[in-house]
Amino acid sequence: MATTAKHIARELIEQLPDEATWEDILYTLYVRQQVEAGLEDVAAGRVTQHEEVEAELLDRKRRAS
DSSP string of 14-64, one letter each residue: HHS-TT--HHHHHHHHHHHHHHHHHHHHHHTT----HHHHHHHHHHHHHHH
> What pTM was computed for the model?
0.74
Quote the mean pLDDT of the chain: 96
pLDDT class of 1 with cuts at 50, 70, 90: low
Q: Each residue of 34-43: pLDDT tens digit?
A: 999 999 999 9
